[in-house]
Structure 1
């Protein structure tokens, strides 16, 4: 689970986690149009019912790129990993003042990087409905602690089976995901915590997919999802759950990484940027 004692450490860790996840071995056959992009190409991203824009949370360039893509896509709804549904319900109608918006939604208490990084994304589509796709801490903690069959059904009902959450991962998939979580946390976590980390990640991906589908149904789309780049993975992230929907939407996924492969990345499109300056994220875990 993400610690919340320090407002900065969780996202130093998260940035490393997303970088490591982007390089993990779980990749599917890529669509014909999968390719790395330049920032200029964000002006002409293919339109889709749901577009997922990934990020390394504390990298300012990634948020500039997201804002650029949002302006070009002109979505009818924005889904945020960073907001719970309760926070999103408090989003003010006037979103021009970053400090006022942050105060209204309780941003400073949530542990995410400074809201000024994210405000340009909001301004790129200032009048559209905002949906919270974030999982409340208590819910995430429960899934982390139980990490067992049945916990997802108690949260999603029949949709848990539709989303494939009630089906255990194959031993190979489970092992690969646990290895990814271990690497993302500097190999500093006790092994008994890894199944809970994997379960919590599945929960967050499925919750974001669920809210994105809700936004699409209510607005007609396009819907843009703002989330960590690990959630944008087409093989194990949000797109994998969207493909299971009874009326599956068209999906485009963009990953943003600070280091990454020149080909065969697990996204429809991806951008590799310079890393932002930050302390060694592994130091806090050691």
Structure 2
């Protein structure tokens, strides 16, 4: 790869990673049903609930905020894990909660949430739902500098606990290919082939980190843990659920929900169910890569 391009791509890595759940060309809706692929409607509410999103769809955030309020009212000992900030900020977030209960701005400042990259205040309804309901909030992600190192250096840059979790996780060539294709599709086919192995490493590390955050919340006494993340991170076949199951969580105790738009399709076996909302007015999501 051209060195100058590689440097520019690494500098844009936060945007590239956030784009993994961006909408691309719709697939005919006949490819998948909106009903649960793996779950049955009769099963009880699992302890691990993963709510996906398209990051720029405000209807997804509003719908999940309502879902969060319902879940927390049903089980007050719920912890909400957010993709939108790193696990390293948990202590600062807890201090902010103690000093200013219910203050969303104080929490996201403590979390060092990148308002520009996440197009704040799109996610505000979710933070309000969690904080106003009294739920504990935690970060699920890895620090950006660490992500960049993983892209460049691979295994040597993985945090030890996440590498140990990854080593316990069964991973096939088909899963590797599916994740690789998912990342390429999420970047409109513009990702240079030479960068894909590093991007797959980064995606796997972030998935393992979110799973670890959920596991730690459960070990600390949470009766239910809800993950707020992009659709790519909640896929049963290649993402966070894979690492939860590797750590011993039964498949039946995980509920993976994708939030998609009309006319788009989900991968077979990727989610337990799909919720839909209309697409917002947006410019061509591939324009940034064309530029």
Q: So what's the TM-score if we normalise by structure 2?
A: 0.77
Structure 2 equivalent of residue 84 of structure 1: 86
C-alpha separation in 2, matches of 1:101 and 1:82 = 12
- The 8 Å contact of residues 79 and 212 in structure 1, kept in 2 or not, is answered as yes
Structure 1 residue 257 and structure 2 residue 260: aligned?
A: yes
Structure 1 equivalent of residue 284 of structure 2: 280
Structure 2 equivalent of residue 130 of structure 1: 137
1:20-35 to 2 correspondences below 5 Å: 30-33=37-40
Structure 1 residue 271 and structure 2 residue 269: aligned?
A: no
Which deviates further from its counterpart, 57-66 or 89-98? 89-98
C-alpha separation in 2, matches of 1:133 and 1:174 = 22
Residues 12/141 of structure 1: CA separation in 2 closer, same or farther (3 Å cut): closer
Structure 1 equivalent of residue 194 of structure 2: 192
Q: CA RMSD in A?
A: 3.6
Structure 2 equivalent of residue 61 of structure 1: 59
Residues 45/97 of structure 1: CA separation in 2 closer, same or farther (3 Å cut): farther
C-alpha separation in 1, matches of 2:81 and 2:223 = 11
C-alpha separation in 2, matches of 1:201 and 1:283 = 22
Structure 1 residue 246 and structure 2 residue 248: aligned?
A: yes
C-alpha separation in 1, matches of 2:179 and 2:37 = 20
Residues 235/57 of structure 1: CA separation in 2 closer, same or farther (3 Å cut): same
- The 8 Å contact of residues 89 and 111 in structure 2, kept in 1 or not, is answered as yes
1:173-184 to 2 correspondences below 5 Å: 173-184=175-186
- The 8 Å contact of residues 260 and 272 in structure 1, kept in 2 or not, is answered as no
Unaligned runs of 5+ in 1: 35-43
C-alpha separation in 1, matches of 2:9 and 2:203 = 11
Residues 45/129 of structure 1: CA separation in 2 closer, same or farther (3 Å cut): farther
C-alpha separation in 2, matches of 1:9 and 1:192 = 15
1:32 shift after superposition: 4.4
1:52 shift after superposition: 0.6
Aligned partner (choices 44, 66, 73) of residue 71 of structure 2: 73
1:57 shift after superposition: 1.0
Residues 9/191 of structure 1: CA separation in 2 closer, same or farther (3 Å cut): closer
1:135 shift after superposition: 1.0
Residues 175/233 of structure 1: CA separation in 2 closer, same or farther (3 Å cut): closer
Q: So what's the TM-score if we normalise by structure 1?
A: 0.79
- Once the two structures are superposed, residues 80-135 of structure 1 have per-residue CA deviations (whole angstroms, 9 ceiling, x without a partner) of 11111233332222354443433333324672120x32222233232222111111
Task: Classify the secondary structure of the residue corresponding to 1:86.
Answer: helix
